[in-house]
Structure 1
Amino acid sequence: MSIYQHLSEFAGLPVVDFTDETDLPPEGAAWRIATEFDGTPFSAVFEDFLRQVDTAEVVALVIGYWGAEYDSGSGDPAELLVKAAERLPNLRSLFLGDIVAEQSEISWIEQSDITPLLTAFPRLERLEVRGGTGLALAPVRNETLTTLRFEAGGLPAGVVRAVGASDLPALEHLELWLGVDDYSGDATVADLAPLLTGERLPALRHLGLQNSQIQDEVAAAVAGAPVVAGLESLSLSMGVLTDEGAEALLSGQPLTHLKRLDLHHHFLGDEMAERVRAALAGVDVDLSEHQRPRDEWRYVAVSE
Structure 2
Amino acid sequence: MTINEHLTELAGKPVVDFRYEHDGESSDRYFGPAGSGAPASPGDVAWRIRTWFEGPDLGGVFQKFLAEVPPAEVTHLVIGYWGASYDTKNPANPVDLLVGAADRLPALRALFLGDIVLEEAEISWIEQSDVTRLFGAFPALEYLGVRGSDGLALSPVHHGTLRTLRFEAGGLPASVVRAVGGSDLPALEHLDLWLGTDNYGGDATVADLAGILGGERLPALRHLGLENAQIADEVAAAVAGAPVVARLASLSLALGTLTDRGAESLLSGQPLTHLERLDLHHHFLTDAAMNRVGAVLPGVEIDLGQQEEAEDDWFYTAVSE
- Report the counterpart of residue 8 of structure 2 in structure 1: 8
Pair 1:192-2:209 in alignment:
yes
- Report the counterpart of residue 116 of structure 1 in structure 2: 133
- Report the counterpart of residue 128 of structure 1 in structure 2: 145
1:78-102 per-residue CA deviation (whole Å, 9 max, x = no partner) reads: 1110000000010000000000011
Q: CA deviation at 1:26?
A: 1.9
Pair 1:68-2:84 in alignment:
yes
Q: CA deviation at 1:8?
A: 1.0
Pair 1:292-2:309 in alignment:
yes
Question: Residues 72, 26 of structure 1: CA spacing in aligned structure 2 closer, same or farther, 3 A cutoff?
Answer: farther
- Report the counterpart of residue 39 of structure 2 in structure 1: 25
Deviates more, 1:191-200 or 1:73-82: 73-82
Q: What residue identity is the alignment partner of 1:25?
A: P
Contact preservation (8 Å) 2:2, 2:319: no
Contact preservation (8 Å) 1:42, 1:73: no
Distance 1:226 1:11 in 2: 28
Distance 1:254 1:25 in 2: 47
Provide structure 1 residue ranges, at least 5 long, that are not aligned to the other structure: none
TM-score by length of structure 1 reads 0.98
Distance 2:227 2:45 in 1: 30
Q: CA deviation at 1:2?
A: 7.6
Q: Paired residues, what number?
A: 304
Distance 1:198 1:3 in 2: 31
SS in 2 for 1:273: helix
Pair 1:149-2:166 in alignment:
yes
Distance 1:140 1:5 in 2: 31
1:8-27 per-residue CA deviation (whole Å, 9 max, x = no partner) reads: 11111111100136215222
Contact preservation (8 Å) 2:140, 2:161: yes
Q: How does 1:186-265 map to 2 (within 5 A)?
A: 186-265=203-282
SS in 1 for 2:192: strand
Q: What residue identity is the alignment partner of 1:51?
A: A
Which of 35, 47, 59 lines up with 1:43 in the alignment? Answer: 59
SS in 1 for 2:302: strand
Q: What residue identity is the alignment partner of 1:282?
A: G
SS in 2 for 1:66: coil
1:166-197 per-residue CA deviation (whole Å, 9 max, x = no partner) reads: 00000000000000011110000000011101
SS in 2 for 1:160: helix
Q: What residue identity is the alignment partner of 1:103?
A: E
Q: What residue identity is the alignment partner of 2:200?
A: Y
Question: Residues 166, 222 of structure 1: CA spacing in aligned structure 2 closer, same or farther, 3 A cutoff?
Answer: same
TM-score by length of structure 2 reads 0.93
Provide structure 2 residue ranges, at least 5 long, that are not aligned to the other structure: 21-25, 27-31
- Report the counterpart of residue 182 of structure 1 in structure 2: 199
Question: Residues 18, 73 of structure 1: CA spacing in aligned structure 2 closer, same or farther, 3 A cutoff?
Answer: farther
Contact preservation (8 Å) 1:58, 1:91: yes
Contact preservation (8 Å) 1:43, 1:74: no
Distance 1:89 1:255 in 2: 41
Percent of pairs with identical residues: 66
Moved over 6 A (4+): none
Pair 1:158-2:175 in alignment:
yes
- Report the counterpart of residue 53 of structure 1 in structure 2: 69
> Pairwise CA RMSD of aligned residues?
1.2
